Amino acid sequence: MRILSAILLSVFLVAFEPRAFANDLSISGSGRNREVTLNQLLSKVPEGAAITDASCKRIGIAGLNYQYRCSVAWEFSNQYLGA
């Protein structure tokens, strides 16, 4: 019985890790070109949202190559929340 409880707890924790509860107010992605990656992410921001952060970090990969990891965050003003 203890083994079954441990397995169920493990499945629950994996399925409902903190990332599963994150809001949908940000997006991230990677690519070889900073501008292209950032523009692709910016195009996915919902209409009416105000961008609060857009940043990229250069990450080294195999050999002397690198790519960019970019993130875009946004928020909605009160007029879109019905307040």
Q: Is residue 10 situated within a structural domain?
A: no
Residue 8 located in a structural domain? no
d(CA 72, CA 42) in angstroms, rounded, equals: 7
Looking at the domain assignment, is residue 5 inside a domain? Answer: no
Query: How many domains does the structure of the chain reveal?
Result: 1
Range of the domain at 45: 23-81
Task: Please indicate, yes or no, if residue 16 is contained in any of the structural domains.
Answer: no
Q: Report the alpha-carbon distance of residue 67 to residue 54 in Å, rounded.
A: 16
Query: Model's pTM, two decimal places?
Result: 0.62
Q: Is the pLDDT of residue 78 over 70?
A: no
Residue 74 lies in a domain: yes
Give the tens place of pLDDT for each residue, 10-63.
544 444 443 333 456 999 999 999 999 999 999 999 988 999 999 999 999 888
Please count the residues of the chain. Answer: 83
For residue 36, tell me if it sits in a domain: yes
- In terms of DSSP bridges, do strands 66-76 and 49-60 run parallel, antiparallel, or are they unpaired? antiparallel
DSSP labels for 46-68? PTTEEEEEEEEEEEE-STT-EEE
Give yes or no for a contact between 69 and 56, defined as CB atoms under 8 angstroms apart. Answer: yes
